[in-house]
Amino acid sequence: MTDQTAQPDNAGSQSAAGKVSRRSLFRAAGVGAAVVGGGSFLEACSSGIKGAASSSTSSASASSGSSTSGATSSKEITIGWIHPITGSLSSFGYPDSWVTQQIMATSAYKNGFKIGGSTYKVNIKSYDSQSSVTMAGTLAKQAIQSDNVDLLFASSTPETVNAVASQAETLGTPLICSNVPWESWYANLGGNPTPGKSTFKPKWTVMYFLGAEHLVECFIPMWNRIGKQYGNNHVVAAAFPNDADGNAFRAVFPPIAKGAGYTIDLSTAYADGLTNYTSMISQFKSAGADFFTNVPLPPDFSTMWKQALQQNFRPKLATVAKVLLFPTDAYSMGSEAYNIATDSWWVPSLPWTSSFTGQTCQQLADLYTSAGLGQPSANISNYTLFEIAHQALTSVNDPHNKEEVAAALFKVNLPQAVAGPINYTSSKNPAPGVANTPPVGIQWQKGTKYKLEAKVVDNTLLPQAKITGDLLPTFK
């Protein structure tokens, strides 16, 4: 594995010993590395390091079981985590090995789960989706049918999560999802995300994250503020691809923006991987749009934005979703990312705490940086996958009974969690199995310690977060 650690500008003066690679994090967490389904495979056990030679190193003995029973009748629980460690979405999975390290150091996971008078060792298996929809679905089948996991996690964009959720619902395995707009996740399972019509209840899967509506509601206050300072024609150029996120945003953004006095100038729904954006850039220039928004795959945005600058499309404020969420993506674009704004569903200044240790968001962020991983990532919030799993699994009689575990997921209520309060029983949830964690607005600005630094510039939807910078125009 290569070390993708994001270092400050002065990183070159640091010794090699001061850097932390993914492999060293695996070892620190008591983790052996092997390969599953062609992807990176991580197995963390509360009893320590297991063998790394093959996927058969799990300490939980496998059995065929029935559709409602898990991997084994032994006192072990196996949780599988499908997420993008490599490929175009790898920045989403970048913090995940560190999160696993933190989790395995908690007494709950290190000492095992107390269930029905017994203690169950907990094994974590991590599967690399390679940022591929096909691979994500294949790995979900493998985890359920061959590796006999008791519970699954899936995180980071519909390209990973939706394929896993479909398999979990079809094959009958409890699943917790994160980092996917709830409308994309819900519609994929057959639900109607239209307000008032979201009554469909999945049987096996729950999720926590924001919705597409939160993003436009996050962006509008920033458009208003820049418009008040520099002029506002209330036209927003929007480039939405023909994929799960793009389709959800195309349905959600225009009516909410219209209610705030904005017109969304939509591009044609384009295919992921498009390399020539000239026609849509010309459209946006003709519309004279003061603002720009989109929800592309990260590599697509880099290409699109470079062409926009070359063709002199320079909006007063660019507010993007799904891209520039993490330091690694911002660094790769360099000065082209200056003063582009996006959303963040987790920042260090939030007052949430770990339900295991009481650690604050700021303390976790400081640990992340001190480990040599650079600026904190919003996906430190994946910690809460494990918090939900713990509450659900410790509330059942038999953690290998998948139907019992799935039912327990829908009863989880965590007043404190690293991602924020999670309550699947709340009548305020937009749909069954959905817990929303709204975002703040952040902007990538030229930094001092780092080339670009994420500044919290708007907390309209999450006033608990501290403002750390002034909102600047992308172009005047």
Tell me the two tokens of residue 324: 């520039």
- Under DSSP, the state recorded for 6 is -
Q: Are strands 39-45 and 31-36 parallel, antiparallel or unpaired?
A: antiparallel
416 and 353 Cβ atoms separated by less than 8 Å = yes
185 and 388 Cβ atoms separated by less than 8 Å = no
pLDDT category at 73 given cuts 50, 70, 90 is low
- Asked if residue 46 has pLDDT above 90, the reply is no
Q: What integer pLDDT is reported at residue 70 of this predicted model?
A: 41
- Asked if residue 258 has pLDDT above 80, the reply is yes
Q: What is the largest CA-CA distance in the chain?
A: 69
**Separation CA 263–CA 141 (nearest Å):** 43
- Asked if residue 212 has pLDDT above 50, the reply is yes
pLDDT category at 57 given cuts 50, 70, 90 is very low
- Asked if residue 183 has pLDDT above 90, the reply is yes
- Asked if residue 465 has pLDDT above 70, the reply is yes
Dihedral of the CA atoms 34, 40, 46, 47 (nearest 10)? 10
The architecture in CATH of the region 25-210+381-436 reads: 3-Layer(aba) Sandwich (3.40)
The tens digit of pLDDT for each residue in 143-158 reads 999 999 999 999 999 9
Q: What integer pLDDT is reported at residue 213 of this predicted model?
A: 94
Q: Which residue has the tokens 């995300």?
A: 193
- Asked if residue 42 has pLDDT above 70, the reply is no
- Asked if residue 60 has pLDDT above 60, the reply is no
DSSP SS3 for 292? strand
**Separation CA 381–CA 165 (nearest Å):** 20
Tell me the domain boundaries of the chain. Answer: 25-210+381-436, 213-344+439-458
Helix (H) or strand (E) holding 28: helix 22-28
Read off the pLDDT of each residue in 209-224 and give the average, rounded to a whole number: 97
Read off the pLDDT of each residue in 251-266 and give the average, rounded to a whole number: 96
- Asked if residue 43 has pLDDT above 50, the reply is no
**Separation CA 45–CA 318 (nearest Å):** 44
Mean pLDDT, the chain, rounded, equals 87
The tens digit of pLDDT for each residue in 406-419 reads 999 999 999 999 99
342 and 289 Cβ atoms separated by less than 8 Å = no
The domain 213-344+439-458 having CATH identifier 3.40.50.2300: the answer here is: yes
Q: What integer pLDDT is reported at residue 328 of this predicted model?
A: 86
Can you spell out the DSSP letters for 327-369? HHHHHHHGGGGTTEEEEES--TTS--B-TTT--BHHHHHHHHI
- Asked if residue 355 has pLDDT above 80, the reply is yes
pLDDT category at 195 given cuts 50, 70, 90 is confident
pLDDT category at 21 given cuts 50, 70, 90 is very low
- Asked if residue 177 has pLDDT above 70, the reply is yes
User: Could you give the percent of the chain with pLDDT greater than 70?
Assistant: 85
Can you spell out the DSSP letters for 387-431? HHHHHHHTTSS-TTBHHHHHHHHTT-EESS-TT--EETT-TTSSS
Q: What integer pLDDT is reported at residue 74 of this predicted model?
A: 80
- Asked if residue 364 has pLDDT above 60, the reply is yes
Which amino acid appears at position 398 of this protein?
Answer: D
Q: What integer pLDDT is reported at residue 383 of this predicted model?
A: 98
